[in-house]
Structure 1
Amino acid sequence: MKKKIAAGLTLLVLAFLYYYVTLPAVNIHESGFWFFLGALVVAVLVLYGFKKRISSVQELRTNKVLKGGIFVILAIAVVYGAGALLSSPIINAKKYQKLVTPEERDFAEDIKEISYDQIPLLDKESAELLGNRKMGSMVDMVSQFEVSSLYSQINYQGQPYRVSPLVYANGIKWLTNQKEGIPAYIRIDMATQDTELVKLDKPIKYSESEYFNRNIYRHLRFRYPTYMFDQLSFEIDDDGTPYWICPVKKFNIGLFGGQTIGKVILCNAQTGETTEYKIEDCPQWVDRAYPSDLLLELYNYHGMLKNGFFNSILGQKGCLKTTDGFNYLALEDDVWVYTGVTSVSGDKSNVGFVLMNQRTMETRYYVCDGAQERSAMDSAEGQVQNLKYEAAFPLLLNISDQPTYFIALKDGAGLVKKYAMVNVQKYQTVAIGDTVEECEKNYEKLLEADGGESTKGKTEEAYKVTGKIEKIAQAVLDGNSHFYVTFDDTDLVLTPPEEGAQKLEGTLIFDIPVTEFPEVIAYNPGDTLSLSFLPGNTVCSVVSMGEEEQE
């Protein structure tokens, strides 16, 4: 009898430890729950086998308990496998395709021009650098705490911010500080780059860096044992109070398919108090109920499964997918995921782009042929290739009613040094500036000179230059050849377009695209050349070439 009690207690302890560590939801829609059931049955059979001292295959075949246990394990595997198959896009393509219904909208109408102080200038990597630097300056905390890598993007009091809690530096630091809790969080203004360490009156007691019951995942699991949580995010309400935003998964197709979000749990990070909302009742200040990865997956189902599952794999007729990367756009006091939409053919061009609301899942589609984000990034990097700056993933803006990629250019240390604006439909139209204002001014000049057509021959706002070529070099950008020219200063003639025009100083480098000016390939150092150009910060964009005779 004592042995049976001991065996039962051992089994209960092992089951509890497994559950305490893995935290599966007690829910048939949770894959981890089925593995937990299987592991539990295996543990029971192993203990039973040791007790009965079963040592041969023959004994295994004749023992009814072991045979029954194996049957249960096989039944669990069959139910799980059948559930996975019946929930898959293979036989539910239409249902998956209709999980989101994009609404076609007008770009200029929806996305108004925003002021400089509302443009988020930093990506997550740059925000992390600023946060770590700020933490390094706090001598009273830096030895005990680090900054979490979360850096959730939110709208706070009408401005774009990233926020991230502090975490214990290691297990020893947790042991010595967990009684008092985490005293602060980092808040970064994405427009001004101002970084604050916000010290709290009440410390954060519930976080990802806790080890036992105050660990946010364990705290949620014990309060909501049947709920399946998606990615948690750290946010602050309008008063600056820290919360964990905990989206609850909802499966719409079979056992495991068609995931969306059905509910949201808001957990006060200081007190652990929780409030449950249906997704449609989620408070306005919450910015991230739907993880960005889930939104992109839902749109890809819509774009790829229009003509069935097998067409998405084989013929791929009419299939569209999101581009490689995304960013966030603050709009209507919500945070929207932005990404381009392209065909599966790999032609490096977009057919449009989508905005997806992270609070409501509302999806808006905008028809706009143009360059993919990666091509725009390469184009911006090409303008400053001598500085070897790296482009961050673009942000989509409305500049003069033109869809425009706004790109931060970072140095090797990850700090933002310059800004670029690239026209979505004509990604050769690139402006560079040391500030956002300067960048926009240069961009608008290019738009005016372009007049909605090719820049070739548009010289109203252009400078004119004539002189002998000092250096000429070739480079390839996005498969297109460009020649870069500098002139000998001794005989340079520079003509501004009008009185009071910008004074140009330093060495001028001229970008001549071969696709527009194929005649440039005949020129060599020492030849005389006349150009009309629009000034850039480091590289000038040529809009016409003269017909000067070579010497």
Structure 2
Amino acid sequence: MKSKKVFGIVVAIIIGLICAGGYYYVALPPINIHAPGFWSFVIVALLLILAVYGLMNIKKPDIRISDAQNFDARDIKIKFKSKKAEAITKLIVYATVIVVIIFIGGSILSSPLVNASKYQQLITVSTGDFASDIKPVSYDKIPVLDKDSASIIGSRVMGTMVDMVSQYEVDDNYVQIDYNDKPFRVTPLKYGNLIKWFTNNGKGITAYIKIDMTTQNAESVKLTEGIKYSTSDHFNRNIYRHLRFAYPTYIFDTLNFEIDDSGTPYWVCPVKKYNIGLFGGVTIGQVVLCNAITGELTSYEVKDVPTWVDKVYSGDLLVELYNYYGTLKHGYFNSVLGQKDCLKTTEGYNYIDIDGAIWLYTGITSVGEDQANVGFVLMNQRTMETRYYEIAGADEQSAMASAEGQVQQLGYKATFPLLLNIAGEPTYFMALKDASGLVKQYAMLNIEQYQTVATAETVSGCEKTYIALLADNGITIPKVLEDKTASGTITKIAQMVVGGNSHYYIMIDSSQDIYDVSVVDYIDIIKYNVGDKISFKFNEGTNVKTVIGITK
């Protein structure tokens, strides 16, 4: 009889462990007291053990058929096969209750309600100088695509890959990176379904998509050896499972697909750091880099992450950290009730490439219903460095509505603005998209006087019109509009489509500059080739000079 009891206990434990192991393999909770998923795992495991052990040790109720008419379920009392079984069952119940209490209590004690000052100090905000920090940017570095437009272009590129389109799909990652000192978005492909994974996993995913955010050119980058670790892989090659088994205690944030300077694909895997209590004050403490082809893993402290890595902190996390900083200056209850001196980020954000790093841009407004910004912040996605600029003006939604009003007859929609330095003025820059999501025009709008709006089909044309508007409104002196001349022998000439129009980009032997010639405005440019002599007028401004006249 005793051996039967021992056998029952062993079987219950084994079944419970098998169920818990299956749950762990699928859910992949970190073995870390700071992870809510870990506590959920413990609670589920205890409940499974309780269910299995209890069912094996509860006596069957003794109900006679003759008593069926008078049967009442409330009269059934749970009886165990032994006192020991009853004690063990109660112990499991108590343990489950204690774990639940710790989880709930830890959540409350880790919240801003109790730790407002600690949350407010999670980031350090410095005051920046707009003119010195944000230099005028050349056309070849202004990102004109947002993620949605990049996704449309990526899908079209996928459609041209006839050898792969039936087996793979485009992942929706599209992380913005700095690659060779220019903004790009990159995303891997993914297996179409489980069957297609079985038929293709031997060679892996043999390409990823790279999109130039300034020219809208996209390409499929073919790999000599395929990606073997991805979000669409299964079993131990699934990137999440690969990471979990290597780092069972790490609490990973959103994974990002990036490429290094040589184009090798990696998964950038930020590791959360909890700074307040059990579950509060999340920042990033470490970063694991996973070579997507070989699966090789390397863990870095944030300060030691290679410089080609761009996205350590997600946009949502950075915005959350600033909102703690801006709203909790006078405690939690002030942030909810009086809201004195409370500032928050506006709805939405965008990214800009500054000095080889990707910075998040978003406006700052007071907590209320006004439609004006008191300033804006730039937040480095690799280091969390945060700079605040006190420049009052229209908020982004008002700016987008103003830009859309300029082209209301066309029905274009504006992307969330970027902040640029145009002629020394803080300027919103937006792409204007048609109903299919493709970029058709561009808009520039003065932050402080948002009725000053310029639109054009090219970035250079938009800037030219915008600077003229600034001058007409007495906002700035249009020094960048001073016309200059150049002449020489053409050493390079390349055609490119920008905003649906053909442009020729020319270099001559007497200058290192690049000259932009619009075919629409100067059709004769198609007659020129390398080696021909040419003379023209151009606007002095950014690195790419806008040609405003060809002379003979």
Give the secondary-structure state (helix, strand or coil) at the position aligned to 2:249: coil
Residue of 49, 66, 79 corresponding to 1:59:
79
In 2, the alpha carbon distance for the partners of 1:414 and 1:189 equals 17
Residue of 9, 14, 17 corresponding to 2:14:
9
Which structure 2 residue ranges, 5 or more long, are not aligned?
61-75, 477-520, 522-552
Counterpart residue identity of residue 357, structure 1:
N
In 2, the alpha carbon distance for the partners of 1:223 and 1:408 equals 43
Residue of 19, 25, 28 corresponding to 2:30:
25
Give the secondary-structure state (helix, strand or coil) at the position aligned to 1:59: coil
> Which residue does 1:127 correspond to in 2?
150
1:271-420 alignment runs, 5 A limit: 271-420=294-443
Deviation at 1:108, TM superposition (A): 1.2
Deviation at 1:202, TM superposition (A): 1.2
In 1, the alpha carbon distance for the partners of 2:366 and 2:38 equals 38
Aligned pairs, number: 454
Counterpart residue identity of residue 79, structure 2:
E
Which structure 1 residue ranges, 5 or more long, are not aligned?
454-503, 505-551
Residue of 205, 211, 233 corresponding to 2:234:
211
In 1, the alpha carbon distance for the partners of 2:260 and 2:171 equals 19
In 1, the alpha carbon distance for the partners of 2:26 and 2:190 equals 20
Deviation at 1:277, TM superposition (A): 0.5
> Which residue does 1:249 correspond to in 2?
272
CA contact (8 A) 2:58 2:79 kept: no
Deviation at 1:7, TM superposition (A): 3.4
Deviates more, 1:53-62 or 1:262-271: 53-62
In 2, the alpha carbon distance for the partners of 1:48 and 1:166 equals 46
In 1, the alpha carbon distance for the partners of 2:77 and 2:292 equals 54
Q: Deviations over 1:424-482 (max 9, x none)?
A: 111100000010011000000000111129xxxxxxxxxxxxxxxxxxxxxxxxxxxxx
In 2, the alpha carbon distance for the partners of 1:78 and 1:26 equals 19
In 1, the alpha carbon distance for the partners of 2:309 and 2:77 equals 59
Counterpart residue identity of residue 59, structure 1:
K
> Which residue does 2:185 correspond to in 1?
162
CA contact (8 A) 2:375 2:388 kept: yes
Deviation at 1:58, TM superposition (A): 4.4
In 2, the alpha carbon distance for the partners of 1:57 and 1:297 equals 52
In 1, the alpha carbon distance for the partners of 2:188 and 2:217 equals 17
In 2, the alpha carbon distance for the partners of 1:360 and 1:322 equals 19
> Which residue does 2:40 correspond to in 1?
35
The percent identity for this pair of structures is: 57
Deviation at 1:11, TM superposition (A): 1.9
> Which residue does 1:424 correspond to in 2?
447
User: Superposition RMSD on alpha carbons, in Å?
Assistant: 1.5
Give the secondary-structure state (helix, strand or coil) at the position aligned to 1:439: helix
User: Residue 45 in 1 paired to residue 68 in 2?
Assistant: no
Give the secondary-structure state (helix, strand or coil) at the position aligned to 1:417: strand
Counterpart residue identity of residue 108, structure 1:
A
Deviation at 1:54, TM superposition (A): 4.5
Residue of 264, 267, 275 corresponding to 2:287:
264
Counterpart residue identity of residue 460, structure 2:
E
1:438-453 alignment runs, 5 A limit: 438-452=461-475
CA contact (8 A) 2:346 2:362 kept: yes
> Which residue does 1:194 correspond to in 2?
217
In 2, the alpha carbon distance for the partners of 1:49 and 1:69 equals 10
In 2, the alpha carbon distance for the partners of 1:26 and 1:274 equals 19
In 2, the alpha carbon distance for the partners of 1:417 and 1:41 equals 58
Q: Deviations over 1:230-263 (max 9, x none)?
A: 0110000000000000000000111100000000
> Which residue does 1:226 correspond to in 2?
249
Deviation at 1:3, TM superposition (A): 5.0
